[in-house]
Amino acid sequence: MGHATSLHIIDYIIIIISFIVSLAVGLKFAHRQKNTNNYFLAGGKLPSWAIGISILATLISSITFLAYPGAGYSSNWILLVQGLMVPVVLILIVGFIVPLFRQVIKLSAYEYFERRFGVFARMYSSVSFVLTHFSKMGSVFFLLALALSKMLGLDTVTLIWVVGIVVILVTLIGGMEAIVWLDVIQGFLLIIGGIISLIIILFTADGGPTAVWNVAMENGHIGFGPFDWDFVNLTFIVMALNGIFYAIQKYGTDQTIVQRYLTAKSDKDAVKATLIGVLLSVPVWAMFMFIGTALFSYYKISGDPAPAGMNPDAVFPYFIMTKLPVGVVGLVISGLIAAAISTLNADLNCLSAICVEDYYTRLRPKSTEKRRMVMSKIFVILAGLGTIGIALFYVKAGSEGVLGTIFALYAIFSGGIAGMFLLGIFSIRANMKGLYFGIGTSVLFTAYALLTSNLIEWGGQKRLLLDLGSLNFTHHDYMIGVYSHILLCVVGYLASLFFKGEKDIRSLTYYGYLDLKRKK
C-alpha cells in the first residue's frame, strides 16, 4: 500500500474520464429534450430498476460518503437509525401514495397540496422545498470541495466552479433521462468504491475482520443505543421518531422523489422502483457507517493513528489518500464526485420543475411549450449559479455556524410539512381554514424552540437568542421537526372541526384509494 498524499497520474486519468462520461451521457440524451414532459419526466417511459438505482444515487450524496464514515469513526451507529426507519414507513405507505400522486399531479408534488388545501398550502410547501434544497445543495458542494481540495491539492473555490459547471451542463443538456442513466453509472461506481475500501480496511488490519469487530465492540462503536426513554439527549427513540417523519416528508412531499414516481411506465413500476431505491439505500448507508467503525479499529490496531485532532469527517479521505493503491484512489474519488453530481443534478432539475410549474406557469398560464422549455433551462442555470454562490459563501465564512443558521431558518419556515401531508391523506374532515391554524402553530412553535435552545456569541459570552428560563426548549434539536409535524397535524385537524368541511376531496385521500381498489 502506498503512503502518498498526492495523486498518481493514473488516478487523475480515472477522475477525468468520469467527468467526460458525465458530459457524454448528457449529450447522448440532448436531442430528446424537446418539451418539458421529456425534460422533467423522461416521457414517463423509464424502466423501474433504473429509476430505483436513480433514487438510491440521489439519496446517497457526498455527505453520506464523508459524514457516515465520520459518524461511525467517532461514535456508534445511532445516526443510522433514521435510515432504518425509512423502509418501515415506506412499506406501509408506498402502495397507495404512488398511484394517488400519479393520478392527481402533472409534475409538481405541491400540486397535491393545492388541490387538497388551496394555493397557500402549495406555496408554503413549495417554498420550503426550495429553501431546504438550496441549503442542502450548498453544503454538498462545500463538503465535496473541502474533501477534494485536501485530496487533490487544488483550491476549494476552483473545485466548486469546476464541479458546479459540469453539474449545470449535464442537467441543462440531458434532462431527467440523462440524470437517471447517469445515476445508474454513478450508483454502481459509489458502491464499488465503498466495497473495495471496506475490504482493504478489514483485511489489511492485523487480525483481519474478527479483530476489527472485537476492537469496535470493546470501545462501544457497535450498537444503536442509548435506548433510554429520553428526548433531551441523542437516543434511539429520538432518532427513530426523527426517521419516521423524515421518511414521510421525503417520500410524500419531496419533489426529487415524487418526480421519480412520474417517470415510470406504470403505477406498479413506480412502486417497484421506489422499493428498489430504498431497500438498496439502507445497506449502502450501513456500509459507509461501518467503514467508519472499521477505520476506528484499523487505526487503533495498527499503532499508525490518524493525525491527532483530525475532524472525523476527514478520516476516510485521509485513509483513501494514504493507504489505497494507485487506481483504486481514482476510482473512490470518482465515486465521491459521482455521489455529489447525482444529488446535485437531480436537485437542479427538480428545482427548475418547481419554478416552472409552481411559479412561472401560474404567472404566465398562456405561455407556449417552447417558452416553458426555455424557462426550464434558464431556471437550471440560475439555480446552479445560486448553489455555487452558497457554497462559495460557506468557503468565505467557514462551515461553523453557517450551516446551522441556514438549517435553522429552513426549520422555521418549513415546519410541519409531513404533518400537512398526513392530514391531507388520512383525514376527510381536515380543511383549508383548519390547516392555516395548524401551520401558524407549527411555525410559532419552531421559532420558539430554536430561539430558546440556540446559543450565540454576544459580548464575548455565549447566550441564548431568547432566554425564558424554565420555559426554554430543552429537548434534542432533532425533536423540533418531530413536534412541528405532530402539532400541525393535531391543531390542523381540531381547528378544522370549527369550519365547514370541503366537498369532493375524498378522491385525494387514502379512502378514495380504497374506493378505487374495491371497484377493481
pLDDT in tens, 86-113: 899 988 888 889 988 998 888 898 999 9
- Structural domains for the chain: 9-300+308-414 (1.20.1730.10), 415-520 (no CATH)
For residue 11, the Cα-to-chain-centroid distance in whole angstroms is: 28
More confident residue, 7 or 203: 203
Comparing 460 with 211, the larger pLDDT belongs to 211
How buried is residue 511: exposed, middle or buried, by Cβ count under 10 Å (0-12/13-18/19+)?
Answer: middle
Neighbours of 27 (CB within 10 A): 14
Q: Among the listed ranges 260-274, 361-375, 401-415, 424-438, which one has the minimum average pLDDT value?
A: 401-415
CB 23 within 8 A of CB 169: yes
Q: Each residue of 356-386: pLDDT tens digit?
A: 999 998 888 888 888 999 999 999 999 999 9
In angstroms, how far is CA 239 from the centroid of its own chain? Answer: 16
**DSSP output for 174-201:** HHHHHHHHHHHHHHHHHHHHHHHHHHHH
Residue 412 has a pLDDT of: 60
**Percent of the chain beyond pLDDT 70?**
94
Q: Give the whole-angstrom CA distance, residue 199 versus residue 204.
A: 8
Contact 259, 496 (CB under 8 A): no
Cα–Cα–Cα angle for 438, 441, 443, nearest 5°? 105
Instruction: Point out which residues pair with 464 in neighbouring strands.
Output: 455
Tell me the three cell numbers of residue 79: 445516526
- Counting DSSP H helices and E strands in the chain, the numbers are 21, 2
Task: Give the whole-angstrom CA distance, residue 161 versus residue 283.
Answer: 32
> Do residues 293 and 69 make contact, with C-beta atoms less than 8 angstroms apart?
no
Model confidence over 17-37: pLDDT tens digits?
Answer: 887 887 788 778 776 777 888
Determine contact, residues 302/204, Cβ cutoff 8 Å.
Answer: no
Provide the grid cell at 123: 406555496
**What distance in Å separates the CA atoms of residue 475 and residue 469, rounded to the nearest whole number?**
14
Q: Where are the alpha helices (DSSP H) in 6-118?
A: 9-28, 36-41, 48-59, 62-74, 81-104, 111-117
pLDDT band for position 457 (50/70/90)? low
Backbone angles phi, psi at 461, to 5 degrees: -120, 150
Top pLDDT among 483 and 36 is at 483
Cβ–Cβ under 8 Å, residues 174 and 27: yes
Give just the sign of the alpha carbon dihedral 31, 32, 37, 39. negative
